């Protein structure tokens, strides 16, 4: 008995260690799962808020005059709304990318304006997709304007490509105008 004692003790210790490791892995997975849930909840909340801002902004543009004429005028986001969207950071980009798919001109124009306010490299990909693949020339035109708010070194190749390859002449003209007007350091003419 005495001879088996130490061996059994080692086995017991190994089992305990294994249980501990398994327990820690479970806890870690649970924590990750919890974190993922939290993130989902947070994104849902942001989606709700941004939807609300877009809806309210568009509603403000639908008015009835004192003479009883119903009219839809443009409605730009208020500064406080822009600030709120900007405060959501990258999460807002994810949400707004979905709104870019809208066929409603007022909705996607507003979405692009909010993306422009967010700025940064993060807005390049969703706007690039519109510029390159969307079938609406008008939508591509507005996406070109919005992408100027991204870092110029990221935006410039996309605008340039559009100026050269977009099937719509008006879109190409808009792209050329943006290239000329929004380049931070106008290129000097080539040296002989």
Spatial separation of the C-alpha atoms in residues 173 and 179, rounded to whole Å: 10
- Provide the 3-class DSSP secondary structure of residue 191: coil
Burial 47-56 (b: 16+ CB within 10 A, else e): bebbeebbee
Segment lying near other proteins (by CB under 8 A), choices 3-11, 21-29, 46-54, 58-66 = 58-66
CB of 38 to other proteins, least distance (A): 34
Residue placing its CB nearer to other proteins in the complex, 35 or 74: 74
CB of 155 to other proteins, least distance (A): 10
Spatial separation of the C-alpha atoms in residues 67 and 70, rounded to whole Å: 9
Spatial separation of the C-alpha atoms in residues 122 and 92, rounded to whole Å: 10
By the rule CB under 8 A, 181 interacts with other proteins: yes
| Among 133, 130, 85, 79, residue whose Cα is nearest residue 108 | 130
Mask of contacts with other proteins, 25-54, x by CB under 8 A? Answer: ------------------------------
Point out which residues bind other proteins (CB under 8 A).
Answer: 60, 63, 65-67, 69-79, 104-106, 109, 113, 116-117, 138, 142, 145-146, 148-149, 178, 180-184, 186
């Amino acid at each position: 008995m005495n001879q088996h004692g130490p061996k059994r003790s080692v086995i017991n210790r190994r089992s305990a260690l294994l249980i501990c490791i398994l327990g820690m892995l479970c806890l870690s997975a649970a924590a990750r799962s919890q974190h993922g849930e939290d993130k989902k909840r947070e994104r849902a909340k942001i989606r709700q808020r941004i939807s609300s801002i877009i809806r309210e902004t568009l509603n403000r543009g639908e008015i009835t005059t004192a003479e009883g004429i119903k009219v839809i005028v443009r409605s730009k986001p208020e500064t406080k709304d822009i600030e709120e969207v900007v405060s959501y950071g990258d999460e807002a980009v994810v949400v707004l990318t979905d709104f870019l798919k809208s066929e409603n001109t007022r909705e996607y124009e507003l979405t692009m304006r909010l993306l422009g306010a967010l700025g940064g490299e993060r807005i390049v990909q969703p706007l690039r997709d519109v510029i390159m693949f969307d079938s609406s020339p008008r939508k591509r035109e507005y996406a070109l304007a919005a992408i100027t708010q991204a870092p110029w070194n990221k935006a410039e190749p996309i605008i340039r490509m559009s100026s050269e390859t977009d099937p719509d002449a008006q879109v190409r003209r808009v792209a050329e105008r943006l290239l000329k007007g929004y380049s931070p350091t106008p290129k000097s003419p080539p040296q002989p």
